[in-house]
Structure 1
Amino acid sequence: MAHTPLTTASVIAEAAALADEDGFEAVTLSAVARRLGVRTPSLYSHVRDRDALLDGVSALALADLAARIVEGIAGRAGREALEGFAAAHRAYALESPGRWTSLQRRVGETAVRSDAAREVVALTAAVLRGYPVPADEHVHAVRVLGSTLNGFLALERVGGFDHSHPGPEVSWHKTVAALDALLRAWPAESGKDTTAP
């Protein structure tokens, strides 16, 4: 049986597949090497170490997510774009759990500075342009969006909503509606920077 040629991309793709199947914490160089049918040292010419491997999975996940967001917000603005943006995140979290988990960590500079990361930032800014949020407040709006969506998805993933009714789908739509209302009524004055001396 022919093996997939070893490249940085093929090693990271295999690591991403492992993350989705067995969990992100299962991603190690030795585990990926076993899946590829090679010895662990063979991977070092393609990824520097485990941190580089994990960052590669994160960058791949960002690219996947960006593609979903593009599809979700195309031709939409305001609440419709926000709904598409949120739905893209939720679908990705449910369908690619290991890759999603790779985004719930402090990633290295390679992933932060990747084209995919810049695209996700640009797409998020495109959604925010449909709301009266001043440009200098976008960082705060992005944090609100990220923490709200990621918090909901983290709880949903671990079954945090399984023991009460109605189901999480109802709460999800209310969450997105609440975010829409918040962005439409964004506070006019910037919050005080408490880090200043």
Structure 2
Amino acid sequence: MEKTENDIDSRLATRLRALRADRGLTLDGLAERSGVSRSMISLVERGESSPTASVLERLAAGLGVTLATLFAEAEREDADPVVRRADQIAWTDPATGYRRRNLSPPGYPSPIELVEVELPPGARVSYDSGTRAAIVEQQIHLLDGTIELTVGEVTHRLNAGDCLAMRLDRPTGFYNPTDRTARYIVALTTEGRGGSNAVKR
């Protein structure tokens, strides 16, 4: 049975506090690095706010990690290499209905992370973070539907079967211009990843 949104908010709160502590950042320090207000970060860390995808991306960039890392578990040597569908963390953006699911086995040490995304008809999700502490490479493979993906000032229209390789070093935007849900897989790697305190997505 999939976890509820309240469970996910609680998990996100715990994970955010741990990542911030690992990096020796105060609330003010993370606010300065992420552009997210101290009060909002405090609400998220107490599990009293359901932040949008845009806010989470800014927090991830400020921490030098990826968005998927905020929903992941810290790496551990005894992690199971298999995760069943029912045990994968799925989260829905309260602002757009954008839904993302961490596909990779939680806590398993690997340089690759996989995420499945569903982008509703007409939905638009924008990430305004540019450079970050770690170099993150990703590829996006469209399974169903169509999306318009803007990387910096260049927009790519992707249809089912298309794949785009990109680096997360500039603002990006995802838009579904159709009347049907788009579904795609995101594969990510992060330079220098390794160990429980490594940066990753």
Normalised by the size of structure 1, how large is the TM-score? 0.26
Instruction: Decide which structure has greater helix share.
Output: 1
Normalised to the residue count of structure 2, the TM-score between the two structures is: 0.26
